[in-house]
Structure 1
Amino acid sequence: MVRANGAVSLRELARVVQTSEVTVRRDVRALEAEGLLDRRHGGAVLPGGFTRESGFPQKSHLATAEKTAIADVAATLVEEGEAIVVGAGTTTQELARRLARVPGLTVVTNSLLVAQALAHANRVEVVMTGGTLRGSNYALVGSGAEQSLQGLRVSRAFLSGSGLTAERGLSTSNMLSASVDRALVQAAAEVVVLADHTKLGADTMFQTVPTDVITRLVTDEPPAHDERAATELQALADQGVQITVAGTAGHAAEPHPPSGRPRRDVPLPGQRAARLPGPSGPYRGGPGVHGGPGGLNGPGGHVGPVGPAGLANDMLGPERPMRVADLRRR
């Protein structure tokens, strides 16, 4: 599967071979020891994947449920009549499909796939950059694309990439794509990064958005065993990035509460914006927020540990999970 697709996720491997992610992870370690692949957070790539970029057909099959959930939440951040820029990528393509329902919206993009998703939206105006077509991801790049963005000013930029770390921010494997993404960032008052958990901690060649420029990260919740992704989220929050965690089917909170407002941010330590109520103020540790049948605020919602310093261990001990209702009572 790695040879055919260039990259695979552990979740997808476990689903295909009908076994647990623990088993798949052990086998991936063995294959890495033989030099047959390189491990990445939540997945594996061909050896030398640091500089290799998978094409669109390969990327479109990775972390599909997570990308859908992220796009659902990101779409709630866009308001009627806004002007935004949307970069190239499979996650931003999912976002574009949901933006077709936002009236009066203006979308500036260098992605043919984003433009195609909005082509039949009567109430959305699509503005394409110029540039040279890059076939691997159906994006316009080069000096023509960058020059067409000069003098542009919009409210938000929605971008994805190949990797995201607290140290370097968002990065990609291609120099031309990185240069256009930087031009998109210059045009926006706020920068929203869309990155599933497999991108957290991955570091690729060309920086596109430094961490201090990222306003918000919309991601999915890392698996409980993925301490490196949880640590990266913590580090990003410590640097002031607002973290919004989208729920996937059967795991985590629903992205659209009944009120229709965006799902609230997960209050990671060091994060200035979102905090759970209670006299104790912001908490320490690396918590992950899970939702029961009614989502974060519904029955069964609880806060559980992500990594050894999780909230449940800090406040209640490992025997039972911390429920959102418990936080309210406290």
Structure 2
Amino acid sequence: MFAAERRQLILEMVRANGAVSLRELARVVQTSEVTVRRDVRALEAEGLLDRRHGGAVLPGGFTRESGFPQKSHLATAEKTAIADLAAGFVEEGEAIVVGAGTTTQELARRLARVPGLTVVTNSLLVAQALAHANRVEVVMTGGTLRGSNYALVGSGAEQSLQGLRVSKAFLSGSGLTAERGLSTSNMLSASVDRALVQAAAEVVVLADHSKLGTDTMFQTVPTDVITRLVTDEPPGHDDRAATELQALADQGVQIAVTGASGGATTTGSGGPGASGTSGGDAVPARQQRRDVPLPGPRRQVPGAAAGLRATALGEQNAGAERARVADLRRR
């Protein structure tokens, strides 16, 4: 495929979907991400699209929301891995809320195996995924059906959530930044998602790496309200996504990252309970956890610092004791 043909196809994909990851563009045009990145840079120079962390969006600074058919074919492997990991943070007998989205739909399919679970949702797709789970109770909100993402929105949905209290909220969105938090492109969806958040003690965001650094019109969840982010491992060349992850961790968000091998990298803010998991056995046994720091400036682990101080103090005391014994011998 010639460069002109390739760039035309890239432009058509972005116009159809609003936002497309470099990985998906490379797959469709059957070339490397390096070549696609060069094409995207050329199209941006012509003012035909805007580059974002790990992808391309419509020009103008904010992406528009894609419909469900387009979203369902984007980053499918990443969404599956994210859903596998996120399901490990749900315990038997919990009551949770699950928002609308293709990633949360994948999560719902895995929650069908959790006994005694109660799921409150405004998503027809989430409810459908749990419809035949006889050990899971599903509670639907009221509201008006928004056909583009099969979700119930509006005042009816928001009012049905008043007075509700659950342990966790699992949400997705169109973009996530450390500065502004989770955002979406539709005002009605954002309003219902905020009501879901107000009902939960903890907020878990599910977002693949292409959404990191992307900012859209309506803020859903401020960064300081997000308890945990579950995402996939950014490509090695995507320094900006890695930087965004570090910035989120610095603001206290616990980060759980799926690895290419199916494992999970977890890290947190360093505060109490910020180990990156909720209870040591929350991640399924089939996933091997490895606790490593995110890319960026190294931060001293409090426990390690205490150990170093104790070692230094012990050496100092031992030195003083040796000096005292030598003094006694001289006498």
Partner of 1:144 in structure 2? 156
Number of residue pairs the alignment of both structures matches:
275
Q: Retained in 2: the 8 A contact 1:239–1:271?
A: no
* Alpha-carbon displacement from aligned partner over 1:255-303 (angstroms, at most 9, x marks no partner): 4xxxxxxx46135xx543239xxxxxxxxxxxxxxxxxx9556xxxx97
Instruction: Report the alpha carbon displacement of residue 305 of structure 1 after superposing the two structures with TM.
Output: 8.3
Once residues 182 and 91 of structure 1 are traced to their aligned partners in structure 2, the CA distance between those partners, rounded to angstroms, is: 18
Q: Does 1:254 align with 2:255?
A: no
State how far apart, in whole Å, the 1-side matches of 2:242 and 2:217 are: 22
**1:305 & 1:107 partners in 2: Cα distance?**
32
* Residue 79 of structure 1: aligned partner: 91
1:218–1:243 Cα contact (<8 Å) kept: yes
Cα 1:44–1:126 change in 2 (3 A) is same
What is the aligned-residue RMSD (CA, Å)?
A: 2.2
| C-alpha deviation, 1:229, in angstroms | 1.1
Number of the residue aligned with 1:44? 56
Partner of 2:56, secondary structure, is strand
Whether 1:192 and 2:204 are equivalent positions in the alignment is: yes
Deviation sequence 1:128-185 (CA, Å, 0-9, x none): 0000111111111111000000010111000011111111111111111111111001
Q: Answer yes or no: is 1:106 the counterpart of 2:118.
A: yes
1:205 aligned onto 2:213: no
Contact 1:164/1:170 (8 A) holds in 2 = yes
Give the 3 Å change call, closer, same or farther, for CA 18–51 of structure 1 in structure 2: closer
Instruction: Indicate the SS of the match to 1:201.
Output: coil
| Alignment-derived partner of residue 108 in structure 2 | 96
Find the counterpart in structure 1 of residue 241 from structure 2: 229
Contact 2:267-2:275 within 8 A present in 1 as well: yes
Which letter does structure 2 place at the counterpart of 1:99? L
Greater share of helix residues, 1 or 2?
2
Identity %: 87
User: CA 1:120 to 1:49, structure 2 compared with 1: closer, same or farther past 3 Å?
Assistant: farther
Displacement of 1:61: 1.3
Q: Which moved more, 1:209-218 or 1:48-57?
A: 48-57
1:176 to 176, 188, 193: 188
Q: 1:26 to 1:136 in 2, by over 3 A?
A: same
Aligned residue among 64, 80, 100 for 1:68 = 80
CA drift of 1:216 comes to: 0.5
Whether the aligned pair in 2 keeps the contact of 1:264 and 1:274 (CA below 8 Å) is: no
- Offset of residue 3 of structure 1: 3.0
Counterpart pick for 1:125 among 127, 137, 158: 137
Give the CA deviation at 1:56: 1.0
* 2:27 corresponds to 1:21: no
SS in 1 for 2:142: coil
Gaps of 5+ in 1: 256-262, 276-293, 315-330
Matched position secondary structure for 2:267: coil
Q: TM-score, normalised by structure 2?
A: 0.78
CA contact (8 A) 1:153 1:187 kept: yes
Contact 1:6 1:58 in 2 (8 A): no
Equivalent position amino acid for 1:266 in 2: T
Instruction: Flag the 1:98–1:204 CA change in 2: closer, same or farther, 3 A.
Output: same
> How far apart, CA to CA, are the structure 2 residues paired with 1:140 and 1:19?
39
Equivalent pair of 2:265/2:289 in contact (CA under 8 Å): no
Read off the aligned partner of 1:178 and give its amino acid letter: A
SS at match of 1:229: helix
Preserved CA contact (<8 Å) 2:40 2:56: yes
Structure 2, unaligned runs of 5 or more: 1-12, 277-286, 300-331
Point out the more displaced range, 163-172 or 32-41.
32-41
Aligned counterparts of 1:172 and 1:266: Cα–Cα separation in 2: 26
Contact 2:97 2:169 in 1 (8 A): yes
Q: CA deviation at 1:5?
A: 3.1
Please state whether the residue corresponding to 2:127 is helix, strand or coil.
helix
| 1:266 lines up with 2:267 in the alignment | yes
| Higher alpha-carbon Rg | 2
Contact 2:167 2:201 in 1 (8 A): yes
Go from structure 1 to structure 2 and tell me whether the alpha carbon gap of 1:246 and 1:148 turns closer, same or farther (over 3 Å shift). Answer: same
For 2:171 and 2:111, the matched residues in 1 are separated by 15
> Aligned pair 1:134/2:146, yes or no?
yes
